[in-house]
Amino acid sequence: MKKALLTIFALFIFAISALPQSQSTTGNIVGRVIDANGALVPNVTVNATNRDTGFAKTAQTDGEGNYLFILLPPGNYVVEVLATQGFAAAKYENVLVTVGSKTSLVITLNAGGSENVVNVESGGQAVETTRSSISSTVDERRVQNLPTNGRNFLDFAVLTPGVVRDPTRSGDLAVGGQKGTLNSIQIDGASSDNTFFGQSSGRIGSGRAPSQFSIDTVKEFQVNQNGFSAEFGRAAGAVINVVTKSGTNRITGSAFEFFRDESLNARNPNLVSANRPRPAGQINQFGGTVGGPIKKDKTFFFFAYEGQRSDLPNPVVLRSLPFAPIEAQNIIGPKAQPYDISREQDTFLAKIDVNLNEKNQLWFRFNNQDFTGTNLENAGTLSAEEHTGNSNVKTSTITSNWTTTLTPNWINEFRFQYSRDREPGQANTNDPETSVTASAGGINDGTFNFGRNNFSPRETLINRYQFIDNQTYLMGNHTLKYGADILIDRIFNFFPGLFGGSFTFTSYANLVAKTPSRFRQSFGGAGTTGGTTRPNNNEYGFFVQDDWHAAQNITVNLGLRYDYQRIKRPPIQNPDPNLLSAGFDTSFRPSDKNNIAPRVGISYAFNDKTVLRGGYGIFYGRTPAIMTGTAHSQNGIQV
């Protein structure tokens, strides 16, 4: 830990004196300036101004008339050239910059006369001719207008080609056929991954918490599927970049209420044929946003709140129970009652943006999620209420970003995040788990479960510290980017699997006779932490990327990335000589230090509407800590 802190301190000192760009939260405008005859116009000043916040940057065309704006927050820009060198002024309005984009814009100057004003939006969506990666962007308009069931912004990702819900695990996204555990989600450029379960923070969309924050806070997000820059790592599937909204020079706000009730639903054909009523259930979603200026063109605020309430029934169905022995009916009958499953969540997000001056910009974001899932640990028609418990989630995140422009071609961006993801699961009883084959009267219902389920109570807690510094240096037709990303997770995991004991009965009669076919129980070893493990995780990432504008219509992207994941060594070595002689060391810690990932991409633009892209890369995913936590405890001694 001491070495890690020294490394972080050195990185911070380097960050405040260096120079970067990150496309995980920003975009670029790239183009050239020409005259009415198509001749290049060098050495003219080009200005880009965000229409909503007044944020402005200036660039100078080079000897070939090329210009480049980097590190632009997503939004609507005005790009203009003042009257110069005998040319009239030119203004291009509604130049849209999206997350990770490289918006191409050719500026045409006319000789003398009045200002030339062009509405770029009226020309339709432009093709990014300088990007070699395959990615899709879901913009603010689609986020606002497309319906979602549950208001989870990740649902929009399935609108992009090659992205589906992972059929092997609820809530995950499968991109290009890869498992959901191989994806990485970034919120405002910082990790939003639950590194223990290999899902998103708060495990949103997995059947528990519906969302980490309101969908109304999302400005846009980008799904990077193939050939993405060396800037992005820790993902062998996709990298999903999410940018949250900021305040603007206008005071804006919204409020919403969505209500669903069984009385509003139609009966499906199965209910009609069985002459059964609609199942009871209510879902209520409500909240709002407000944002605006604290000081015009300087300081802005944005705040959002969302609450969700749902109450759904969980029927218990045992058609064979009336044919079971009366003693079995007396035991199981009181436990086979229907119960409710409810979800209650409150989330809020607050963000402050500060334009200190032309060279320094800051923003701070805090978001909090508090979710209680009553009887959500286990459910189903063959699970008693005492076989479940509350499944809760509480996440809190503080993220900040400081961007410094030292010279027009030298920029630094430093980012810090602290987050806490706590997910306890509770048990409704301490009685041993009991599983009974529910079969009688020619009816086999399956296996009915009551008593404490074998994995509750439980708890997982992740405290995260993340330090990021990305840098950019412009050299002629080369854009050189390099940076470092250090992520430190301190993980607590309590999983007393089968500590309460578990009986298995193959029939109602065996239950009455108290003759189980199997009994299982685990115990914590003497002098060990039992079901408690701390599979801490440190991740170090370094990259360099060169985007080379080789010709007017050819862009070559060359990158190299190195990732190292340092997992905590298992604390106990089983001294059994047979294990050791066979080469099984339960204290062994793998150390994979050769994760060198080259990236190569090229784009060839036939014209401003047609581009050919190609690329090659090696990508590495992370090992979820649930695997290392299991290795820590399942050594024949601790559990």
- For residue 627, give both structure tokens: 């695997």
Q: Is residue 18 part of a domain?
A: no
Mean pLDDT calculated for residue range 550-573: 92
Rama region for 5: left / alpha / beta (φ>0; ψ in -120 to 50; rest): alpha
Q: Residue 332: name the closest of 161, 509, 177, 191 by CA.
A: 509
Q: Is residue 64 part of a domain?
A: no
DSSP reduced 3-state for 464: strand
pLDDT digits (tens, 9 = 90+) for 231-261: 888 888 888 889 999 999 999 999 999 888 8
Check whether 23 has a pLDDT greater than 70: no
Check whether 606 has a pLDDT greater than 70: yes
Note whether 80 and 53 are within 8 A (CB): no
Q: Is residue 577 part of a domain?
A: yes
CA max distance for the chain: 102
Distance set, CA 368 to CA 207, 239, 314 (Å): 19, 23, 29
CA–CA dist 613, 128 (Å, integer): 11
pLDDT value, residue 223:
87
Note whether 28 and 131 are within 8 A (CB): no
pLDDT digits (tens, 9 = 90+) for 71-104: 899 999 999 999 888 889 999 999 999 888 888 8
Q: What is the mean pLDDT of the chain?
A: 88
Question: What range does the domain containing 575 cover?
Answer: 138-633
Note whether 587 and 628 are within 8 A (CB): no
Check whether 477 has a pLDDT greater than 90: no
pLDDT band at 15 (very low <50, low <70, confident <90, very high): very low
Q: Is residue 100 part of a domain?
A: no
pTM of the entire structure?
Answer: 0.87
Between 90-99, 275-284, 544-553, 628-637, the lowest mean confidence (pLDDT) is in: 275-284
State the Rg of the chain over Cα: 29
Q: Is residue 349 part of a domain?
A: yes
Note whether 100 and 222 are within 8 A (CB): yes
> Strands 27-35 and 410-425, how do they pair?
unpaired
Q: Is residue 82 part of a domain?
A: no
Q: Residue 629: name the closest of 461, 427, 487, 392 by CA.
A: 461
Distance set, CA 41 to CA 93, 475, 491, 597 (Å): 20, 19, 57, 39
CATH of the domain at 341: 2.40.170
Check whether 316 has a pLDDT greater than 90: yes
- For residue 537, give both structure tokens: 């995780």
> Strands 75-81 and 116-119, how do they pair?
unpaired
Number of domains in the chain: 1
Q: Is residue 638 part of a domain?
A: no
Task: Pick the more confident residue, 298 or 122.
Answer: 298
The DSSP secondary-structure symbol of 572 reads: -
Between 258-267, 316-325, 503-512, 628-637, the lowest mean confidence (pLDDT) is in: 258-267
> Strands 239-244 and 184-187, how do they pair?
parallel
Mean pLDDT calculated for residue range 441-447: 95
Sign, CA dihedral 118-123-129-131, equals positive
How far from each other are the two terminal CA atoms of the chain, in whole angstroms? 28
Helix (DSSP H) and strand (DSSP E) numbers for the chain:
7, 35
Q: Is residue 40 part of a domain?
A: no
Mean pLDDT calculated for residue range 44-68: 91
H/E run at residue 513: helix 508-513
CA–CA dist 70, 48 (Å, integer): 11
